[in-house]
Amino acid sequence: MALLDFQTSLAQLVRVSDGGDPSKGVSLTPGERRYLSDLARNPAFCFTVKVQRSWCAGRAGKAAYLTLSILTSEKRELLLEDWVGSGGGTHSFVGAESEAFLQFIARRIPDPSHELTICRMELAALRSSEGSLIFQRPPLSRIDRADCLLRRGRYAGVVHFYAEPERVLNALLKREPCPAISSDVTTLIFGPGLDRLYTRASWSEMALYDRLQSSVSAAELVAEGFTRETIARLVEGGVLEYAE
């Protein structure tokens, strides 16, 4: 066995302690497979695996603290176990770990649901907060240029609340019954240049954000009825940005 294959096998053995195949992607002899099989039952190795997985779960728990805190303990433990089992909880950068884990959670929560709304809110707040560290307000005069192209901001996002946001947040944080899912949706829009990093989105702001599935010229947007004031407000807040 090459050293790299050996290291890879050990790493996979830690990750697939639930009974998966640790030899996936590596070339092993029958003797080497027996060695790994014996090692998996070794008490010292099992303790190491338990400690490592506990560390990963703790790191992941901090990475999505708000979202996990409002879920049932059973759902929370299942998500952490699945995330760590898939290789999560080891990223060196907390921001990257948080974003990946929140996206992982979002795919496993009913849509629509208040829990999914909070998950998406935590993710949007994370992105806009990170973006605010490097965000610089762009010159708005560029909007008037014929060659000006706009796109969604890299650190922007929208979150739909299916009840009054304050009622949803208070109910979840106090562990009280949540209001019923409503068709009357309130949308918060996030951007690194906005006050508090978010604001309630107006109908025109939401329509403009939805319109930019890909880059569109400012002139075309104005021709479609979007006002320069709305475009400028979202550019200034980092919700939209100039496409190079």
Which domains are present in the chain? 136-244 (3.90.930)
E strands, 144-195, in order: 149-152, 157-161, 186-190
User: What's the pTM value of the predicted model, to 2 decimals?
Assistant: 0.75
How many Å apart are CA 116 and CA 128, to the nearest integer? 18
Predicted confidence pLDDT, tens digits, the chain (244 residues): 455 665 566 556 555 555 555 555 566 677 766 766 766 666 655 555 555 555 566 667 777 888 988 898 999 889 988 888 777 666 555 567 889 889 999 999 999 999 999 999 999 999 999 999 999 999 999 999 999 999 999 999 999 999 999 999 898 888 888 899 999 999 999 999 999 999 999 999 999 999 999 999 999 999 999 999 999 999 999 999 999 7
**Is the preceding peptide bond at 112 cis, omega within 30 degrees of 0?**
yes
pLDDT at site 87: 72
Closest alpha carbon to 148 in 158, 159, 139 = 139
CA dist list (Å): 133 to 144, 178, 242: 27, 34, 18
